[in-house]
Amino acid sequence: MARERVGAVKGLFVAFEGVDRSGKTTQLQLLAQRLSEKHEVLLTREPGGTPVAEAIRVLLLADDVQMSARCEALLFAAARADHVERTIRPALERGAVVISDRFVDSSLAYQGVARGLGVDDVERINHWATDALEPDLTIMLDLPIGTSSQRDGEVDRMENEGELFQARVRRGLLDLAGRAAHRYAVIDASPSVDEVADLVWAAVPEPWR
Ligand code: TYD
């Protein structure tokens, strides 16, 4: 969908995407550290990033909660609407770099593709929820399913879905990257942490490095 930003937005909006356990969190923290030498950096996440969105997150990820797929998609979009209006846009307007752990493309891949709701419908509700905000750069950390690093601890409701579901998510993200190549960097997440961090850095637009 075409980008229709209203008013001057001075900052840089970077989103990270990837299947569960792709090493996203480590990489976005390293990028934030590097960019913060020159810029104000706001590190945030989805679902989350405001008190209301964090409360919705608890509901969305609890492994003992059951909900319909449409309810799930609307709750992700509702959390995102608050996140955009109250956290992301104000930071961009004051010229900050905003780095978000996931954004709309997660909904398109998880709810639109993997849950089968359809990318077009999920895109429509998110276009409204975000008032058409799109990242300037989306970094997808890509790993074949089954090779992603094992993380200790609890498995949330989405991670419980299994490998077939994760494979659909990955395919969905790769398709989106192909359709929005102007703002996507797909990065192989299998080399060492430092090598991946350098590839991520190289994807940042020149004036911001
Ligand atoms: P999180 O613990 O943040 O996982 P990760 O470290 O993999 O990002 O949990 C977020 C989960 O919610 C993750 O499985 C992806 C899923 N998700 C959606 O299904 N739709 C969305 O719109 C978003 C933002 C996340």
pLDDT in tens, 157-206: 888 888 999 999 999 999 999 999 999 999 999 999 999 999 999 999 99
Domain hosting residue 111, numbered range: 12-208
Tell me the residue ranges of DSSP E strands in 68-183.
97-101, 137-142
Q: Is residue 3 part of a domain?
A: no
The residue with tokens 């990318």 is 119
Q: Which residue's entry shows tokens 């997808």? A: 140
pTM exceeding the 0.85 threshold for the entire prediction: yes
Ligand 1 pocket residues where CB is under 6 Å: 20, 25, 46-47, 61, 76, 101-102, 106-107, 110-111, 156, 158-159
Q: What is the pLDDT of residues 53-107, one digit of tens each?
A: 999 999 999 999 999 999 999 999 999 999 999 999 999 999 999 999 999 999 9
- Expressed in angstroms and rounded, the spacing between residue 158 Cα and the centre of ligand 1 is 7
Q: Residue 72 belongs to a domain with what CATH number?
A: 3.40.50.300
For 33-48, the pLDDT digits (tens) are 999 999 999 999 999 9
Cβ(135)–Cβ(183) below 8 Å = yes
Write out the two tokens for 41.
Answer: 């950096």
In 3D space, the residue among 12, 26, 66 whose CA is nearest the CA of residue 151 turns out to be 26
- Closest-CA residue, ligand 1 atom 25, reads 106
Does residue 179 sit within a domain? yes
**CA 163 to ligand 1 center in whole angstroms:** 15
- Rounded to the nearest angstrom, the distance between the alpha carbon of 136 and the centre of ligand 1 is 20
